Amino acid sequence: MDHSIPLSLYLLFSLPLSLLLFLLVRSSRHRGLRLPPGSLSFPLVGETLQLISAYKSQNPEPFIDNRVARFGQVFTTHVFGEPTVFSADADTNRFILQNEGKLFESSYPSSISNLVGRHSLLLMKGSLHRRMHSLTTSFANFAIIKDHLLGDLDRLVRLNLDGWTGRVLLMDEAKKITFEFTVKQLMSLDPCEWTENLRKEYILLIEGFFTIPSPLFSNTYRRAIHARRKVAEALKLVVRDRRRESERGERKKDMLEALLEDEGRGGDGFSDEEIVDFLLALLVAGYETTSTTMTLAVKFLTETPLALAQLKEEHDAIRAKKGESETLQWNDYKSMPFTQSVVNETLRLGSIISGVFRRAIMDVDVKGYTIPKGWKVFASLRAVHLDHDNFKDARSFDPWRWQNNSGSTDLLNLFTPFGGGPRRCPGAELARAELSVFLHHLVTRFSWVPAEEDKLVFFPTTRTQKGYPIIVQRRDMSRTL
C-alpha cells in the first residue's frame, strides 16, 4: 500500500497552516515597532503580481501613486518574496542613498549578482568599493573626457552614422555606439568583428537579469549563463594579452591598464578573474542605460517639434563654425546649453533607473517610522521625478524647465537620475557627453520621421517596445554651413 500523502490532501492541510504561521509571524516579529503603513497582502506573493502588472502596462505610475495617496510617501508592501518599504519621498531617498554601508547595504536579485560576477563594482562593499569607485570615476571625469575621450566618442558616433540610410532601428544603433565606445574606453579596442560578437553575447547575458535564476526553470537564464561564460573567456584572453604587453613595457591609458597596475586586495595585484568580473559589469553599466536614454531623447524630441527645432538651431550654429568633418572640441561641447536641458529632461522623464533596492542592516528610524533590520527598501527615483509637487507638469517633456530654473538648488536636490551617495554612477558625466555628441551628429546630419507607432514599456526595464524604428533622410549641410 502507498502510504504517501496525496498532493491535494497535502495542500488542503499545509496551505492554511502556512497562512496561519505567516499571520502569526507578521503580527509578532515586529510588535512594538511603528512600521510604515501599507499592506503585505497575500503570503509569499504579496503585491508582486500587482507591481508586475503595472509595469507591463504603458502607465506603471498607479502602483506607487495609489499607495502614496492611501498611505503616504513612505509605505510598506510585499514584493518578490520580501516585505519592502517603498519611498517616493526625496528626503527619504537621499537619506537611504547617503547611508549606504552605515544603515543600509546594496541588495540585488541573485539573477543579477550571479551574472555580473562577485568581483564586480556592483557587489563590492566597504573600503574596496570606495577605492574602485574612485578609480572608475577617474576614468570618466571632466578632465579625461576633455583630453582623451571626446575625440574617440566623436569618431565612433560618426562612424556608425555614416552607414545610416532609410529605415533605422534606433535602439540597436544606439547600443552599437555605446558598446563600442565603452570597449574603447575600458580596453582601447576599436570596433571590429570581435567587438560585435561580444556585443551579441551581452544581449543574451542582460536578458537573464530579470528571470528566475535557475537554468532548470528558465531557458533565458540558461542562455544568459552560457553567454556569460563566453564573454568571460573573451575578456580573459584580452587581459592575458595585456599582461604580456605590460611586462614588455607597453602601456595604454585605459581602465584595464589601471587594473593591471593596481595592487588589488592584498597587495599582490588583481587576479584575471577579478579583472574580468570588474570589466564585464562596467560594460553592462556603460552600454544598456545610455543607449536607452539616447533612444528616449529622440522619441521625446520627435514628439516635441519646438524642442527639436531649438536643438537643431543650437547645433547648426556650432557646425557652421567648423568644417563638415571637423571633430567636436571641448569648447563646442561646453556651448550646448539647450542640449544639456534636453539631456536633463530625458533623464528625468525617462527615469531609466526607476529606483534602487537596499537592505536595512539594523532597525532604522525614518519619518517617524521604523524599518526593521533585514527588510528591503526601495528608493523610487522615478516617483520623485514624476511628482507634480516637485516638477510642474511633471509627466510632460519640457526641457525649458531647466533653463527657467537654471542652477536651482531645490530642483537639483530632487533630480537624481544617477542615484546618489557612495554608489552614485561613476560614469554620469561621460553619459552626458555621449548623449550630447550623439544628438549633435544626429540633428546636423539627418531629419527623420517615425517608421511606425511605438510606445514605452517598463518591464523588466524601461525601453520602447519596438526599438523605435525611424526613417532617416540626410540633410543638405551646405545650407547650414
CA distance 261 to 270: 9
192 is in an annotated binding site: no
Query: Which residues have C-beta within 8 Å of that of residue 317, sequence separation ≥ 6?
Result: none
The cell numbers describing 76, all together, are 510598506
DSSP annotation of 190 reads P
CA distance 87 to 418: 17
Secondary structure percentages of the chain, helix, strand, coil, to 5? 55, 10, 35
Q: Where are the beta strands (DSSP E) in 122-199?
A: 166-169
CA distance 222 to 320: 52
Give the chain's end-to-end CA distance (angstroms, integer).
92
The cell numbers describing 271, all together, are 587576479
Cβ(196)–Cβ(292) below 8 Å: no
Angle at 294 between CA 231 and CA 281, to 5 degrees: 25
Cβ(189)–Cβ(238) below 8 Å: yes
C-beta neighbour count of 70 within 10 angstroms: 11
Query: Which residues have C-beta within 8 Å of that of residue 304, sequence separation ≥ 6?
Result: 397, 399
Cβ(436)–Cβ(343) below 8 Å: yes
Annotated binding residues, written as ranges, equal 425
Annotated binding residues for heme, written as ranges, equal 425
